[in-house]
């Protein structure tokens, strides 16, 4: 596994990290804790040193699982977690008041069984708290040795600039994939200018870009994708052309659709580090092999041409969750 630096921060991580959310939250019943620990440890053995969680995943249980999983090799990994929801509950709304940031930091340290959080993200921008106050609070936590680096999630250009003026932002985490490329227009130039790394979540389109989901797929009743417009039956059917194109290209390179989608992302910028998640060890192994699939400029152009002809159908979030995305 090769390593990448998140912008100018100096924080070095595996080229592909592991998003742990789906082990506990969002995609149906939680994975058995011991099975989750086994998967996290397998990722580490395969070269992953960058693990992403949040108090809101569960809530709380995901951090506990990750903390237990990495305890034997804690000093060899980079742990990223997040603050910013009331009581760790997404449905309760945002809360980035300084006292809440501090409370979350203390609680997360205990659950992660560690004395420092390597990368502490604001999970969603709080319109009621100036971002300068947020950055200032994290700056104090860094001075106290409880946090190493500061990150933002789904933040817009002005928020990024204002936060970075108070405390260097090491990484921005936002949704990005072959079927969601909004970040390229306004966000990428600012990240490049300021030397901020980019950590795309859902780089495989919440599983769709693996080719394992089609119009006939039935999700568990607790699966978040049931309320995502892009995952309506009609939109899944309309978007099947994306998988057809990925499969067609992958056959030329003996690669799966997921590997092509991740290799394409790694080819975009050297400071991009995707964090695909999975509950299955064979999918984990498949995803990590994407790092060995090096695409040429010609390969990237071929993929770009194929996708320029496709109009993706359906919004990426329902309205109430889109409202939490900073513009």
Determine which helix (DSSP H) or strand (DSSP E) holds 148, and give its type and residue range: strand 147-153
Measured distance CA(209)–CA(247) in Å, rounded: 10
Kindly report each contact of residues 277-281 with a partner whose C-beta sits within 8 Å and lies 24 or more positions away, as own/partner: 277/18, 277/19, 277/20, 277/21, 277/22, 277/23, 278/22, 278/39, 279/22, 279/23, 279/27, 279/31, 279/35, 279/36, 279/39, 280/39, 281/38, 281/39, 281/42
Identify the active-site residue in 57, 121, 176, 201: 57
Kindly give the pairing relationship between strand 12-14 and strand 3-5. Answer: antiparallel
Nearest-angstrom CA–CA distance, 202 and 180: 10
Q: Is 149 a catalytic residue?
A: no
Residue 314 in 3-state DSSP? coil
Positions annotated as catalytic residues are 57
């Amino acid at each position: 596994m090769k390593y990448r630096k998140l912008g100018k921060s100096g924080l070095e991580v595996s080229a592909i990290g592991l998003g742990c959310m789906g082990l506990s939250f969002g995609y149906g019943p939680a994975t058995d804790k011991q099975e989750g620990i086994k998967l996290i440890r397998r990722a580490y053995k395969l070269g992953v040193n960058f693990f992403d969680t949040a108090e809101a995943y569960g809530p709380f249980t995901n951090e506990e699982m990750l903390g237990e999983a990495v305890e034997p090799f804690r000093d060899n990994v980079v742990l990223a977690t997040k603050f910013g929801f009331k009581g760790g509950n997404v449905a309760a709304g945002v809360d980035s008041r300084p006292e809440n940031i501090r409370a979350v930091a203390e609680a997360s340290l205990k659950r992660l069984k560690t004395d420092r959080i390597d990368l502490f993200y604001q999970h969603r921008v709080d319109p009621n708290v100036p971002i300068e106050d947020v950055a200032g609070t994290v700056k104090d936590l860094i001075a106290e040795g409880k946090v190493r680096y500061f990150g933002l999630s789904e933040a817009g250009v002005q928020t990024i600039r204002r936060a970075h003026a108070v405390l260097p932002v090491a990484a921005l985490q936002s949704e990005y994939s072959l079927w969601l490329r909004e970040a390229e227009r306004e966000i990428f130039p600012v990240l490049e200018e300021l030397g901020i790394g980019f950590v795309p979540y859902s780089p495989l389109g919440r599983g769709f870009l693996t080719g394992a989901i089609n119009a006939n797929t039935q999700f568990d009743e607790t699966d978040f994708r049931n309320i995502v417009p892009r995952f309506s039956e009609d939109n899944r059917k309309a978007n099947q052309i994306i998988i057809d194109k990925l499969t067609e290209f992958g056959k030329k390179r003996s690669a799966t659709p997921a590997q092509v989608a991740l290799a394409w992302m790694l080819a975009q910028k050297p400071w991009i580090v995707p964090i695909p998640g999975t509950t299955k060890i064979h999918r984990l192994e498949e995803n990590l092999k994407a790092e060995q699939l090096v695409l040429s400029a010609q390969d990237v152009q071929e993929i770009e041409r194929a996708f320029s002809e496709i109009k993706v159908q359906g919004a990426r979030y329902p309205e109430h969750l889109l409202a939490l995305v900073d513009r």
